[in-house]
Amino acid sequence: MTDVPAVPAIKPARPYFSSGPCAKPPGWSPENLATESLGRSHRSKIGKTRLQLCIDLMRELLKLPDTHRIGIVPGSDTGAYEMAMWTMLGARAVTALAWESFGEGWVTDAVKQLKIDPTVVRADYGQLPDLDAVDWSNDVLFTWNGTTSGVRVPNADWIPETREGLSFADATSAVFAYDIDWAKIDVATFSWQKVLGGEGAHGVLILGPRAVERLESYTPAWPLPKVFRLVSKGKLTEGVFKGETINTPSMLAVEDCIAALEWAKSIGGADGLIARSDANAAALDQIVAERSWLGHLAADEATRSKTSVCLTVEGADEAFIKTFAGLLEKQGAAYDVAGYRDAPPGLRIWCGATVDTADVVALGPWLDWAYATAKAA
């Protein structure tokens, strides 16, 4: 019989550890959101102004060069990435890298939907393939930070400056959490529901000059839905990157994102966000190091996510993890910490910038309690 420790006295003040949608920024309240744009058309002067402000704040915080465009698009990160795939792939050979479920999803899109017969390079959950072996005469699809595996690319050094193909980075759990070398990125997508703690359903598409050149010089063989169309009469539809969205956005979600960006600016911008993510990941690393029954799914620290941290639990199967996570949720100590359904059984704890480090530290004793309680059941 496993001895069950006493229920810890201190709970995380904000027990929100979901990997998407993620914890709201500290101090968040709906009463603090600007409301002038609500109930107004997104095409009105105030609507366009607020959408442009959202884009301008993202550019400022990301230190994005003027060579790159930012557009708000439908369908969260998935919509943004599929928009890029559908509009730009097919011009040359493609290599698709997959080391977790979302990367595998892009492989499925390329093979079964677009039927472009890509070179597929896979690695198991917790691992990365040999990035140095990637053929950059091809367009390359990859996930910067594997939300479901806890594995990330270490940096952009493996992407050559003189590449022939385009780099397509699904960066949904990476943007605002890592220092990204934008000169190496032709296409990046993310959702503000991740590191910024915004609401779901909206994606962000970032295009470098080589991606724009591709869009204006290549017409795909397949039909494009209206929400994917970025080109009109052979030229990029620039309005998309000036707040003139393809479809109707939620202005409430836009205001929520603006509030998150302004909070980020107040704590030092991207550097402040990265520092908070780093501190949270370090606090969780310490918890793991002190417990023999906990481990990291991503064994290599250099490629371990600092946002969606995936943990192994000794002897755990899917049923055990369900019980484990359920115990924490019932106590209001931690929400949504079970690993992704397609990943090996384990825990997944979000350590992005909107989480407070003190809450990560407070989680440690609760993990001990839930583990022992589940073992004794």
Report pLDDT for 23: 98
Q: What is the mean pLDDT of the chain?
A: 97
* In contact, 348 and 268? CB cutoff 8 Å: no
Residues 200 and 245 in one domain: yes
As a whole number, mean pLDDT of residues 47-55 equals: 98
pLDDT for 236 beyond 80: yes
Residues 246 and 340 in one domain: no
d(CA 184, CA 142): 13
Q: What is the pLDDT of residue 52?
A: 98
Asked whether residue 79 falls in the same domain as residue 208, the answer is yes
Mean pLDDT, residues 115-133: 96
Partners of 335 in the β-ladder = 16
Q: pLDDT over 70 for what percent of the chain?
A: 99
Quick one: residue 8, left, alpha or beta (phi over 0 = left, psi -120 to 50 = alpha)?
beta
Mean pLDDT along residues 344-357: 98
> Nearest Cα to 15, choosing from 292, 367, 310?
367
Q: Which helix (H) or strand (E) holds 191?
A: strand 187-191
Residues 6 or more apart in contact with residue 237 via CB below 8 angstroms: 229, 230, 231
In order of 4, 11, 123, 285, the CA distances from 289 in angstroms are 21, 21, 25, 6
147 belongs to a structural domain: yes
- Does residue 360 share a domain with residue 292? yes
Decide if 17 is inside a domain: no
Per-residue model confidence (pLDDT) at position 129: 96
Same domain for 349 and 232: no
- Segment 275-304, tens digit of pLDDT: 999 999 999 999 999 999 999 999 999 999
Is residue 6 a part of any domain in this protein? no
**Block residue for tokens 């002190």:** 290
Does the residue 9 lie in any domain?
A: no
Q: Are residues 323 and 185 in the same domain?
A: no
Q: Judge whether residue 1 has pLDDT over 70.
A: no
The CATH number of the domain holding residue 273 is 3.90.1150.10
The CA-to-CA distance between both ends of the chain, in Å, stands at 9
Question: For 305-335, what is each residue's pLDDT tens digit?
Answer: 999 999 999 999 999 999 999 999 999 999 9
pLDDT of residue 51 exceeding 70: yes
Average pLDDT of the residues in 130-154: 97
Residue 125 shares a structural domain with residue 256: yes
Q: Does some domain include residue 10?
A: no
Has residue 277 been placed in a domain? yes
Q: For residue 8, is it within any domain?
A: no
- pLDDT at position 176 is 98
Are 282 and 313 members of one domain? yes
Q: Answer whether residue 377 shows pLDDT above 90.
A: no
Q: Is residue 2 very low, low, confident or very high in pLDDT (cuts 50, 70, 90)? A: low
Residue ending a domain, among 249, 265, 281, is 265
Over 80: is that where the pLDDT of 259 sits?
yes
Q: What is the pLDDT of residues 210-230, one digit of tens each?
A: 999 999 999 999 999 999 999
Q: Are 206 and 170 in contact (CB under 8 A)?
A: no
Which residues, other chains included, contact 364 with Cβ-Cβ below 8 Å and sequence gap of 6+?
Answer: 287, 290
Q: pTM of this prediction?
A: 0.97
Q: What percent of the chain has pLDDT over 90?
A: 98
Last residue of a domain, one of 203, 235, 265: 265
d(CA 13, CA 301): 28
**Residue 225: CATH number of its domain:** 3.40.640.10
Same domain, 215 and 333: no
For residue 335, the 8-state DSSP code is B
Mean pLDDT calculated for residue range 5-31: 97
If one counts the domains in the chain, the total is 2
Choose the final residue of a domain: 265, 288, 312: 265
Query: Does residue 18 form part of some domain?
Result: no
**Are residues 248 and 310 located together in one domain of the fold?**
no
Q: Are residues 246 and 287 in the same domain?
A: no
Could you tell me which residues come within 8 angstroms of residue 36 by beta carbon, excluding any fewer than 6 positions away? 46, 50
Q: Which pLDDT does position 188 carry in this prediction?
A: 98
Question: For position 218, what pLDDT does the model report?
Answer: 98
Measured CA to CA, the distance from residue 296 to residue 94 in angstroms comes to 32
Q: 140 and 251 share a domain? A: yes
Nearest to 333 by CA among 364, 302, 303: 364
Q: Which domain holds residue 153?
A: 30-265
